[in-house]
Amino acid sequence: MAGGGFKDAREWLQERLCLGSIQEFVAHKTVPLHSATPWYFFGGITLFLFVIQVLTGILLLLYYRPTPSEAYESVQFIMTRVEFGWLIRSVHSWSANLMILSAFVHMFSVVFLHSYRRPREVTWLSGIVLLGLSLAFGFSGYLLPWNTISYFATKVGTDMAASLPWIGEPLARFLRGGEDVGGATLTRFFGFHVAVLPGAMTLFLLLHLALVQKHGISSPPKVEQEARRASKPIPQMAFFPNFFLRELMAWYAALGILGALAALFPWELGVKADPFAPAPAGIRPEWYFLAPFYTLKLLPSHVWFIEGELLGLLAFGLLCVFWALLPFWAVNRAGALRTRLVTGAGVALLSYLAVFSALGYWR
Amino acid sequence: MRMTVILWALTGAAGLAMGARDSCVECHSALSGDLQAPAVQMENDVHARRGLGCAACHGGDPSSDDPQVSMSRARGFTGKPNRLTIPKFCARCHSDAAFMHRFQPQPRVDQYAQYMTSIHGKRIASGDAAAAVCTDCHGTHGVRAVKDPLSPVHPLRLPETCGRCHADPQHMAKYGIPTNQLAEFRKSVHWEALEKRGDLSAPSCASCHGNHGATPPGVATVAAVCGTCHVLMQQLYDKSPHRPVFDAMGAAGCVVCHSNHAVLRTSPAMLAGPEAVCSRCHDATSAGGLAAAQMGASIQKLNEALNRSRSILDEASKAGMEVSEAVMRTNDAAEALVKARVAVHAFDPKAVEQPVQEGLAVAAETYQAGVDAMRERDRRRIGLGVSLIAILITMAGLWFTIRRLESQPR
């Protein structure tokens, strides 16, 4: 009787949701099997951490109050009075950082495995937008506890935006909701963090996932060449259940790391922001902004006739555009892949980020 | 005469303000050594900055290049003033309210009157040229405003300035007064606040002795001098049984226990134990000795409770626990400790006991908060351990499932 009921419900759903076609798609979906296959997990891990972000973020919303007089106290209340509030807040903060780390690993694995190639240019572009949105999530979320470090880091960050030519001042005023970082900034950042960015993230995530399903998972050029030479197809692994179960293991590992970090190193709250107090020594942004931050610090006040900071920001802007257009300059006019150039650029960027982030942290 | 001086000053000021040339500076800048020094020092001089040139003090005619004319008696040149007349010389302007009002809306003009009441002024009046005059403390041609950190009378530099004479045994030999004041002061909490923390509200020499009217506080006035800042201590001391006894003995109040220049950091050891200041007069078994021991023990108890509380909260904080509210609450216990230390000046164990009990209650509460935080930390670690085991078991289960699936023939 029960089995019959379940079968009826399944048929009812299949008829209305076309589950059959989805089942068919999943049953035939495969993942290339080679030595670099484990790098494919990082896309899924990033997605998993994003889901954790959404869930813990919703729980934090139950208590968080986005005003300068209540923000800090509400986070303090979450951490000290709410049952498991400390865990939710710490997991939210740690998973944000791990998500960005995982997104960077995913991006560089795409670069080094050359998975951005035709027809996956738009998949790459949507991934770059997703990374940008993740960084925006980090920047807007950093201010929300309204502590001294986050307050002054936001001041420095929005000051940088203000130094851009033409659009700088209006952009900074738009971000701050006024001339300086204050209550209006907190309200805006909260709005960006819980409404604008999640909406945009969901849209681009759906596009990204749809394109990944549409084009399938690419194999590295070397693997393709070897298969061609041997006149054999590239070995494949069934997505479900083989790859999915492995991905599930990776998610559990990420969950274990996340739990350990949250329990052993709870995210600290700091001291409540005081806009009238002088900026404390050693103000620095989150680790993922350290490399550009340290580079800007190294630049002289003027390079020829341009302000050093402005020159740095323009250079970073150009670098981002150049990087986003990678699939287009990665192939020459004859359509051949510039493997060495792309790998070299990837190594150079990764080295720059690692070295300057370390210098920014320790100096 | 006075009108002439003011006219000099005003014409000199007007001339400089209008950018007129000053032959004094021009010639003396070209000279060397002592004759050049005044022209160089004048660059930073507060008088020169307000438009008062050399002629404002020394007279003469700065518009003439001929030294015979510019430094002639006929043009009012007075030359270097006699040391004994310097206070009066400076007072010509600084005691003239109308003149000083040109530079400050509320000028102080009592410096000379104050100075003449000081031991320095009295000695100068008696013809002792070794006594301090205005220039000894303020400088001569490079006089800076008192609030200027480079001024020798800025609070942070004043002890050194006074010490130039008062720590010099040769200079002080004929007065027969000690020369260890600066060395003693450098041991004090006042020096620590002034020098190490740069706290300009901390007392330096002038805070207790006065500046222009510098006089050692008499025995009867010591408590009043200390009480200028330590108001509550003075009020309690005045009502205490020590006041009439010390007065009758001719003992200088606060100084009896705390010393004068070497005011050291207080501790319960001052009340009880081998180094107790109370034991200098009170036998340990006497009522006074027992009361002192009781007060010392109470304060020590609160001190220890507060330290224990801070220690565990610090440990919890380092473990990532959110204990900022409890840390903030320890300030109430610290405040009670301060109150208890102040209450010692009533020399009544009951007066000390009340803030001590309040502080102990707060310290116990914050200590418990620390204990709870550490227990919570342990619970989290156990929870983490259990969760990690569950995750590892699940991962192992998944791994075996994959192995089983992949070992089956397709």
The SS3 assignment for B152 reads coil
The total domain count for chain B is 2
The predicted structure's pLDDT at residue B222: 67
More confident: B208 or B252: B208
B281 lies in the same domain as B223: no
Lowest mean pLDDT segment, chosen from A122-136, B154-168, B244-258: B244-258
B245 lies in the same domain as B318: no
How many Å separate Cα A3 from the centre of its chain? 44
The predicted structure's pLDDT at residue A333: 87
Cα–Cα dist A150/A157, whole Å: 10
- Structural tokens at position A193: 């963090």
Name the nearest CA neighbour of B156 among B108, B105, B204, B222. Answer: B204
Name the nearest CA neighbour of B297 among B233, B340, B254, B338. Answer: B340
Q: Is 80 exceeded by the pLDDT of residue B221?
A: no
Residue B367 lies in a domain: yes
Q: Which of B230, B264, B298 is the last residue of a domain?
A: B264
Q: What mean pLDDT comes out for the span B352-357?
A: 97
- Which residue of B384, B386, B404, B405 to mutate against A (max A Cβ within 10 Å)? B384
Residue B357 lies in a domain: yes
B276 lies in the same domain as B229: no
Cα–Cα dist B338/B259, whole Å: 20
Among chain A, residues having any CB pair with chain B shorter than 8 Å are 76, 79-80, 86-87, 241-242, 245-246, 248-249, 252-253, 255-256, 259-260, 263-266, 268-269
Give the domain ranges of chain A.
Answer: 29-283
- Which residue of A41, A249, A265 to mutate against B (max B Cβ within 10 Å)? A249
Say if B30 is an interface residue toward chain A (CB within 8 Å): no
Contacts of A204 (CB under 8 A, 6+ apart): A126, A129, A130, A133
Contact flag B325-A266 (C-beta cutoff 8 Å) = no
Number of Cβ pairs < 8 A linking chain A and chain B = 56
Nearest to B402 among A245, A260, A266 (CB): A245
H helix intervals, B18-66: 23-30, 37-41, 46-49, 55-58
- Structural tokens at position B13: 């000021």
Q: What mean pLDDT comes out for the span B289-301?
A: 95
Element (H, E) at B125: helix B119-125
The predicted structure's pLDDT at residue B220: 64
Please give, rounded to a whole number of angstroms, the shortest distance from the CA of A31 to a CA of chain B.
15
- pLDDT per position as a tens digit, B161-188: 999 999 999 999 999 999 999 999 999 9
Contact flag B398-A252 (C-beta cutoff 8 Å) = yes
Q: Using an 8 Å CB-CB cutoff, list chain B residues near A252.
A: 391, 394-395, 398
Q: Using an 8 Å CB-CB cutoff, list chain A residues near B402.
A: 241-242, 245-246
Residue B212 lies in a domain: no
Contacts of B72 (CB under 8 A, 6+ apart): B60, B61
Contact flag B395-A253 (C-beta cutoff 8 Å) = yes
Cα→Cα distances A338→A105, A227, A323, A334, B166, Å: 21, 20, 14, 11, 83
Q: What mean pLDDT comes out for the span A335-360?
A: 94
Cα–Cα dist A316/B174, whole Å: 75
Contact flag B391-A252 (C-beta cutoff 8 Å) = yes
- Structural tokens at position A263: 């329990």
The predicted structure's pLDDT at residue A308: 85
Q: Is 90 exceeded by the pLDDT of residue B112?
A: yes
Percent of chain A with pLDDT over 70: 99
Residue B126 lies in a domain: no
Nearest to A245 among B325, B381, B398 (CB): B398
Contact flag A259-B384 (C-beta cutoff 8 Å) = yes
Q: What mean pLDDT comes out for the span B250-261?
A: 87
Percent of chain B with pLDDT over 70: 93
Residue B53 lies in a domain: no
Q: Hey, what amino acid is at B270?
A: M
Q: Is 70 exceeded by the pLDDT of residue B12?
A: no
Q: What mean pLDDT comes out for the span A292-318?
A: 88
Q: Is 90 exceeded by the pLDDT of residue B341?
A: yes
Q: What mean pLDDT comes out for the span B342-346?
A: 96
Q: What mean pLDDT comes out for the span B358-372?
A: 98
B239 lies in the same domain as B320: no
Q: Is 50 exceeded by the pLDDT of residue A144?
A: yes
Residues B64 and B21: beta-carbon distance below 8 Å: no
Mention the CATH class of domain A29-283.
mainly alpha
Percent of chain B with pLDDT over 90: 61
- What ipTM was predicted for this assembly? 0.85
Lowest mean pLDDT segment, chosen from A131-140, A303-312, B328-337: A303-312
Lowest mean pLDDT segment, chosen from A297-301, A341-345, B143-147, B296-300: A297-301
B255 lies in the same domain as B285: no
Q: Using an 8 Å CB-CB cutoff, list chain B residues near A245.
A: 398, 401-402, 405
Q: Is 50 exceeded by the pLDDT of residue B18?
A: no
B280 lies in the same domain as B363: yes
Nearest to B322 among A76, A259, A264 (CB): A76
* Range(s) of the domain holding residue B286: 270-377
The predicted structure's pLDDT at residue A244: 93
Residue A282 pLDDT grade (very low, low, confident, very high; cuts 50, 70, 90): confident
Contact flag A76-B394 (C-beta cutoff 8 Å) = no
